[in-house]
Amino acid sequence: MPITEILPRDIAVPVAHPLHSPGARVQLRHAGRSFGGNRVLADLDLEVAPGEFLSIVGKSGCGKSTLLRLIAGLDQPSSGSVLVDGVAANRAGDRLRLMFQEPRLLPWASVADNVAVGLRTGPDPEAVAEALRAVELGDKAGFWPAQLSGGQRQRAALARALVSHPGLLLLDEPLGALDALTRLTMQKLIRNMHERAGFTAVLVTHDVSEAVALSDRIIVLGRGGILSETRIARDRPHTAAELAEIEAGILDAIFAA
């Protein structure tokens, strides 16, 4: 696939600022979640290291979003524990930020005001301007969301998620609704931001090549829990053939279930 050639996966990104938040550590211990009698996740053990980029793939309905909501603290495990930097996820507060499949911008607020929603404490126009520049929306600060394209809206949502320099970024199929070309640009942007800012990232996606393009580690989730785990070393470039092979292996694991 040409994707792997378009995306420079070993770009040496200049270290921009010393404000990096060190990434957060995520720990799931025997975590389970049932809805009524429907046990979606059971006895899940998973650890995400600070600064790691982890992707979760798997068939539709296998519990990827449920897992992400547990880590986000939007939902509580029925059993076991979910910890972010050693505290229960629902008390991790603004150490973590979430990006949804839809941009979910406030239509009545300017792009800059939408990004400011992500700030932890009082107004900070400089941080907002910097976050917008980082996603290449520096000239759109005064626009209404309705005046942006789909890709620009999702970039504004990314700026909102990162403006407070979170330790953990959670992404639930954030690029699923974008066209193929915009998706590639966004993947590159997310990977750049990750390497620059050093946050931990957990991405849920149904697109295996997207997971391969972005992640340090990919897990395949299924009814039986974690079905497979693949590490992709980022310290050297991979050939297209290598990446295609990795991708094929992951697809096999998904469909073997």
Ligand X SMILES: Nc1ncnc2c1ncn2[C@@H]1O[C@H](COP(=O)(O)OP(=O)(O)O)[C@@H](O)[C@H]1O
Q: Which residues bind another protein (CB under 8 A)?
A: 72, 74, 93-94, 97-98, 100, 102, 104, 106-110, 117-118, 120, 140-147, 160
* Alpha helices in the chain, H assignment, sequence order: 3-6, 64-72, 111-116, 125-134, 150-162, 180-197, 208-214, 240-256
User: Which residues make Cβ contacts (< 8 Å) with residue 39, sequence separation at least 6?
Assistant: 32, 33
Closest distance between ligand X and the C-beta of residue 44, in Å? 12
Residues 62-91 that bind Mg ion (CB under 5 A): 65
- Which residue of the chain is nearest Mg ion when measured via CB? 65
CB 22 within 8 A of CB 50: yes
Total number of residues binding Mg ion (CB under 5 A)?
1
Burial class (CB in 10 A: 0-12, 13-18, 19+), 215: buried
Tokens of 211: 């997971």
Tally of helices (H runs) and strands (E runs) in the chain: 8, 10
Q: Which does 51 bind (CB under 5 to 8 A by kind): another protein, Mg ion, ligand X, none?
A: none
Nearest CB to another protein, comparing residues 30 and 120: 120
How many residues are recorded in the chain? 257
- With respect to ligand X, which residue has the nearer C-beta, 23 or 58? 58
CA-closest candidate to residue 94, choices 124, 73, 109: 73
Q: Which option in another protein, Mg ion, ligand X, none does residue 110 bind, with CB closer than 5 to 8 A by kind?
A: another protein
Q: How far is the CB of 87 from Mg ion (least distance, A)?
A: 25
- Considering beta carbons, is residue 186 or 203 the nearer one to Mg ion? 203
Contact 203, 225 (CB under 8 A): no
Nearer to ligand X, 55 or 66 (CB): 66
Quick one: what does residue 150 bind among another protein, Mg ion, ligand X, none, with the CB cut-off 5 to 8 Å set by partner type?
A: none
> Would you say 39 or 217 has its CB closer to ligand X?
39
Q: Which residues bind ligand X (CB under 6 A)?
A: 35, 38, 40, 58, 60-66
Only one residue has tokens 């076991």, namely 80
Q: Quote the CA–CA distance of 199 and 208 in Å, as a whole number.
A: 22
- For residue 185, the minimal CB distance to another protein (Å) is 23
**For ligand X, the closer CB: 57 or 115:** 57
Contact residues toward Mg ion (CB under 5 A) are 65
